[in-house]
A and B are shown apart, each in its own frame.
Chain A
Amino acid sequence: MHITLNLSSGAFAGEIKDISGANVFDCYQCGKCAAGCTVGGYIDDTPTKVIRFIQLNQRDKALDSRTPFLCAACNTCSERCPMEIDVAKIMESVRILALKEKRKPERDVAVFSELFLGSVKTTGRLFELGLTAGFNLMSGQPVKDAELGARLFRKGKIAIKPAMSGNKNVKQIFDKSEAVSGSSSKEEKAEH
């Protein structure tokens, strides 16, 4: 791995701070977040390393890392950080920025998230069949879990139609959060 250092701007750490409120320069790279990460077996870069990328102004390396997308937001890292840095919040900030720029290092996660929230927004609650079918189509594995789906359907565990057809209150929540974020970017909405 090769890094060319250009710290003159330091702007990336500032972007992260604007969104998360966290100062990445508080981090002294002790690795406690990496040590306790519950998805440690799946991520590519440890959370410690993602923060290091931000410290070193390595925008591409951080935004293209799979780690922020695989982050389960369990908050173990934030809870145990000796410097009281909200690591999970930093991961979320990286996710927001990556989606804004249409980078999807972990495309399936982004797709799932988008479909999930879309389903809730339009119908008022999660429509499982729609989500599953949509996700399977968009992730290029249309017959995945088809057999299981059929069994669940037979037992009446999943419905063929949405249980609700739109809910005013839920829609209000979405409208409000979109107004707060002040952006019409679809990806960003999905994050809120």
Chain B
Amino acid sequence: MARIGVFVCHCGENIGRTVDCSVVAKESAKLRDVVYSVDYKYMCSDPGQIMVKDAIKKHNLTGVVIASCSPLMHEKTFRRAVQETELSPFLCEMANIREQCSWVHEDKVLATKKAVDLVRLMVEKVKRNTPLEPIRIPVTKRALVIGGGIAGIQAALDIADGNQEVVMVEKSPSIGGHMAQLSETFPTLDCSQCILTPKMVSANSHKNIKLYTYTEVESVTGYIGNFDVTLRKKARYVDDSICSGCGICQEKCPQKKISSEFNTGLGKRPAIYIPFPQAVPNIPVIDKERCTYFKNGKCKACEKFCDRNAIKFDQTDEFINIKVGAIVVATGYEMYNIGKNNKNGIKGYGEYGCGEDPDIIDSLQFERLLSASGPTFGEVKRPSDGKVPETVVFLQCVGSRDKAKGMEYCSKICCMYTAKHTMLYKHKVHHGQAFVFYLDIRAGGKNYDEFVRRAIEEDGAIYLRGRVSKIYREGDKLIVKGADTLSGSQVEIAADLVVLATAITAQPDIVPLAQKLGVGYDKYHFLSEAHPKLKPVETNSAGIFLAGACQAPKDIPESVAQASAAAAKVLGLCSATELEREPYVAKVYESTCAGCGFCIEACPYKAIDNKAIVNRQGKLIKNVAYINQGLCQGCGTCLSVCRSKSIDLAGFTDEQIFSEINSLFV
């Protein structure tokens, strides 16, 4: 005989305003098998929880219904309280009379009636609940960090310092990411390389970090605590165990005029190259597309001069299988390219010459011009003729906040780095004048607004509020036709150099990776967090976390903070030997299962497999569906396609659901 207790919460006025809670409690008491009912102002508070626990003991309850908010809000709270009384937490159910009743109705009489109905449903359900056991799954104490920019490096170092193993994967030949390309950083103007390169070295030498560069994630299977990952280590054509990084191969390579990715096309590199002098690891890679040997079958100059015989032209891609318990995705961003043939498929800017004029550059290129390790060794010289530009015009929001270009979001960091650019330019070219076309100056952050003011007040940058409509060349000058909406006039500037603060966009190849990982992404292809406020580093795939600009445009401090947060989550996960999961998983009635395999096709989590049932002689009797409890998320898709009704969902069985529905018609 079931003995059910009903506890009705007023939630302050949230429920009490539209639902007469005392009536709900009185009506509930009349339901069959309900032996106790009560209402209280805040059931989730400490006194409220004590009421529940006391009632369980005093009235010998076998089930509890809390009529309050959504189970998403407080199911855990009440189940924890119930557990303290030795009643199974799975014998506690929530009737949602807030989100699904008081918040959406106005008529008090009808809302109260509905609340009673909702309680009745849950009473019928809880009577048929069984004390389930949480599922325990083992945890592999190793993490995978995808991406070797500042976010990935920080996450890997923090996890490794927490004494857990880390495998770090970077698709380009060196770690460092975009931060390695920057000159100085806002708002303190400290040198980017000086604060980054020591971290790069630590990441490579840390005893707990295994670094794979020039490597990509091939496939990911498994689930939280137990991911199986295959990495593709792309052929470098250089044996990294022998190479000493002396660089003689770079000197001898006859191909010298390939545009350098690291210098954003402003510098040149050979076909065998180390991307930049501070690269980690300091090992070259052969660009197969451009190498004379790979193209013509002759040359091998690098091999000839390498005194360690480290050049291996016959190297092939290598596949590495690893097991990890958690994954941090830190794949970063790409700058929006205004060219006609934008690889992201976004429209270019015809009115700005589609990026075809050499003196119209983007901000990352300007960073390289400012950088001491850049193609001009830190001297600001314009790309067309090497002249020091005396008038530089900066355009903000190029692509960003531009519905017509398909990017309605704010790229967040451009206001700050443009202010920095005007300062650094003024520090290098004293007689130069910087103009900035902006829409709004977004400088929220510690010492950020002061920094922008300094650019205007001390370094004399002229800020013009408005967009630019056209840029065209007139002889030696670029004519910039813009507007200053504050004075309500058109503005024309003859500039030597134009710098476009182009939008921060998602990595062009992020979608296939997100699909491999089962991580969601928004319409701009930025990866989605599990909750915008309360779960900013988690994703909807348990055990996979986000760090840095792969989630949204972020500056360095934010990326670092999020990376450390992701590392804390990973360490928390790895601190347990076993994980507990809610036991709401599908179960198969093998006696009636026909083994049709529809559920295998339908399962979005690849949690169902075939299982052979054999007799003692080892002869196959039949195939049935087998559900991997670690992978099953309890979505119920398999139930709906099962033709013989041989699958049920623990905690939400057909019997429970039907008795709930039936209770409404008595």
Residues of A within 8 A of B606 (CB): none
Is there contact, CB below 8 Å, between B403 and A30? no
Is there contact, CB below 8 Å, between B490 and A82? no
Residues 394-421 of B contacting A (Cβ, < 8 Å): 397, 401-405
Of B25-33, B109-117, B153-161, B479-487, the segment with at least 4 beta carbons within 8 Å of chain A is B479-487
Neighbour of B351 across the interface among A33, A36, A48, CB < 8 A: A36
Residues 20-40 of A contacting B (Cβ, < 8 Å): 28-37, 40
| Residue of A34, A46, A48 contacting most chain B CB atoms (<10 Å) | A34
- Which residue from chain B places its CB closest to the CB of A81 in the assembled complex? B404
Instruction: Report A157 CB to chain B, min CB distance, Å.
Output: 36
Is there contact, CB below 8 Å, between A36 and B488? no
Residues of B within 8 A of A36 (CB): 351, 469-470, 481
Of B35-43, B170-178, B460-468, the segment with at least 4 beta carbons within 8 Å of chain A is B460-468
Neighbour of A48 across the interface among B401, B402, B403, B483, CB < 8 A: B483
Residues of B within 8 A of A76 (CB): 469
Instruction: Report A48 CB to chain B, min CB distance, Å.
Output: 6
Q: How far is the CA of A31 from the CA of B491 in the complex (A)?
A: 11
Interface residue A49 (Cβ < 8 Å from any Cβ of B): yes
Interface residue B188 (Cβ < 8 Å from any Cβ of A): no
Is there contact, CB below 8 Å, between B404 and A37? no
Is there contact, CB below 8 Å, between A34 and B402? no
Is there contact, CB below 8 Å, between B466 and A30? yes
Is there contact, CB below 8 Å, between A46 and B439? no
Interface residue A45 (Cβ < 8 Å from any Cβ of B): yes
- Which residue from chain A places its CB closest to the CB of B485 in the assembled complex? A31
Is there contact, CB below 8 Å, between B468 and A37? no
- Which residue from chain B places its CB closest to the CB of A45 in the assembled complex? B488
Residues of A within 8 A of B465 (CB): 31
Q: How far is the CA of A82 from the CA of B410 in the complex (A)?
A: 13
Residues of B within 8 A of A34 (CB): 466, 483, 485, 488-490
Is there contact, CB below 8 Å, between A35 and B439? no
CB contact under 8 A between A80 and B488, given known A31-B466, A35-B483: no
CB contact under 8 A between A46 and B489, given known A31-B484, A32-B468: yes
Is there contact, CB below 8 Å, between B404 and A35? no
Report A41-76 CB contacts with B as 1/0, cut-off 8 Å.
100011011000000000000000000000000001
Neighbour of B469 across the interface among A29, A32, A41, CB < 8 A: A32
Is there contact, CB below 8 Å, between B351 and A30? no
Residues of B within 8 A of A49 (CB): 485, 488
Instruction: Report A2 CB to chain B, min CB distance, Å.
Output: 16
- Which residue from chain A places its CB closest to the CB of B480 in the assembled complex? A35
Neighbour of B403 across the interface among A40, A41, A84, CB < 8 A: A84
Residues 482-515 of B contacting A (Cβ, < 8 Å): 482-485, 488-491
Is there contact, CB below 8 Å, between B403 and A32? no
Residues of A within 8 A of B488 (CB): 34, 45-46, 48-49
Neighbour of B468 across the interface among A28, A35, A40, CB < 8 A: A35
Interface residue A160 (Cβ < 8 Å from any Cβ of B): no
Instruction: Report B319 CB to chain A, min CB distance, Å.
Output: 46
Residues 120-161 of B contacting A (Cβ, < 8 Å): none
Is there contact, CB below 8 Å, between B467 and A31? yes
Bin the interface of chain B by size.
Answer: 20 to 34
Interface residue A3 (Cβ < 8 Å from any Cβ of B): no
Instruction: Report B189 CB to chain A, min CB distance, Å.
Output: 30
Interface of A is mostly: loop
Interface residue A5 (Cβ < 8 Å from any Cβ of B): no
Is there contact, CB below 8 Å, between A46 and B485? yes
Is there contact, CB below 8 Å, between A82 and B401? yes
Neighbour of A82 across the interface among B404, B470, B483, B489, CB < 8 A: B404
Q: How far is the CA of A179 from the CA of B468 in the complex (A)?
A: 42
Interface residue A180 (Cβ < 8 Å from any Cβ of B): no
Is there contact, CB below 8 Å, between B467 and A32? yes
Is there contact, CB below 8 Å, between B402 and A40? no
Interface residue A83 (Cβ < 8 Å from any Cβ of B): yes
- Which residue from chain B places its CB closest to the CB of A29 in the assembled complex? B485
Q: How far is the CA of A33 from the CA of B488 in the complex (A)?
A: 11
Residues of A within 8 A of B484 (CB): 31
Instruction: Report B2 CB to chain A, min CB distance, Å.
Output: 59
Residues of B within 8 A of A83 (CB): 403-404
Q: How far is the CA of A83 from the CA of B405 in the complex (A)?
A: 9
CB contact under 8 A between A82 and B405, given known A31-B483, A35-B490, A46-B490: yes
Is there contact, CB below 8 Å, between B466 and A35? yes
Residues of B within 8 A of A37 (CB): 469, 490
Is there contact, CB below 8 Å, between A35 and B403? no
Is there contact, CB below 8 Å, between A32 and B490? no
Is there contact, CB below 8 Å, between B482 and A35? yes
- Which residue from chain B places its CB closest to the CB of A32 in the assembled complex? B467
Q: How far is the CA of A100 from the CA of B469 in the complex (A)?
A: 33
Residues of A within 8 A of B469 (CB): 32-33, 35-37, 76, 80
Instruction: Report B393 CB to chain A, min CB distance, Å.
Output: 12
Is there contact, CB below 8 Å, between B405 and A35? no
- Which residue from chain B places its CB closest to the CB of A82 in the assembled complex? B402
| Residue of A37, A80, A82 contacting most chain B CB atoms (<10 Å) | A82
- Which residue from chain B places its CB closest to the CB of A48 in the assembled complex? B485
Q: How far is the CA of A28 from the CA of B405 in the complex (A)?
A: 16
Residues of B within 8 A of A82 (CB): 401-405, 467
Residues of B within 8 A of A45 (CB): 488
Report A80-107 CB contacts with B as 1/0, cut-off 8 Å.
1111100000000000000000000000
Q: How far is the CA of A117 from the CA of B404 in the complex (A)?
A: 35
Instruction: Report A72 CB to chain B, min CB distance, Å.
Output: 15
Instruction: Report B440 CB to chain A, min CB distance, Å.
Output: 9
Residues 85-113 of B contacting A (Cβ, < 8 Å): none
Is there contact, CB below 8 Å, between B467 and A30? yes
Residues of A within 8 A of B470 (CB): 35-36
Is there contact, CB below 8 Å, between B490 and A40? yes
Instruction: Report A79 CB to chain B, min CB distance, Å.
Output: 9
Is there contact, CB below 8 Å, between A32 and B483? yes
Residues 289-314 of B contacting A (Cβ, < 8 Å): none
Instruction: Report A161 CB to chain B, min CB distance, Å.
Output: 45
Instruction: Report A160 CB to chain B, min CB distance, Å.
Output: 43
Residues of B within 8 A of A33 (CB): 469, 483
Residues of B within 8 A of A84 (CB): 403-404
Neighbour of B439 across the interface among A30, A41, A81, CB < 8 A: A30
Q: How far is the CA of A80 from the CA of B405 in the complex (A)?
A: 10
Residues of A within 8 A of B403 (CB): 82-84
Q: How far is the CA of A30 from the CA of B489 in the complex (A)?
A: 12
Residues of A within 8 A of B482 (CB): 31, 35
- Which residue from chain A places its CB closest to the CB of B439 in the assembled complex? A30
Instruction: Report A85 CB to chain B, min CB distance, Å.
Output: 9
Q: How far is the CA of A35 from the CA of B493 in the complex (A)?
A: 12
Q: How far is the CA of A172 from the CA of B645 in the complex (A)?
A: 71
Residues of A within 8 A of B490 (CB): 34-35, 37, 40-41, 46
Instruction: Report B51 CB to chain A, min CB distance, Å.
Output: 51
Residues 165-203 of B contacting A (Cβ, < 8 Å): none
Residues of A within 8 A of B397 (CB): 30
Residues of B within 8 A of A35 (CB): 466-470, 481-483, 490-491
Q: How far is the CA of A33 from the CA of B351 in the complex (A)?
A: 13
- Which residue from chain B places its CB closest to the CB of A47 in the assembled complex? B483
Is there contact, CB below 8 Å, between B439 and A28? yes
Residues of B within 8 A of A32 (CB): 466-469, 483
Known: A32-B469, A82-B404; 15 extra A-B contacts, CB below 8 A, are: A28-B401, A31-B483, A32-B467, A32-B468, A34-B483, A34-B488, A35-B482, A35-B483, A35-B490, A36-B470, A80-B351, A81-B404, A82-B403, A82-B405, A84-B404
Q: Which 9 A-B pairs have the closest CB atoms?
A: A36-B469, A31-B466, A31-B483, A35-B469, A35-B483, A32-B467, A34-B483, A82-B402, A31-B485
Interchain residue pairs with CB less than 8 A apart (7): A31-B482, A35-B470, A45-B488, A46-B489, A48-B485, A49-B485, A83-B404
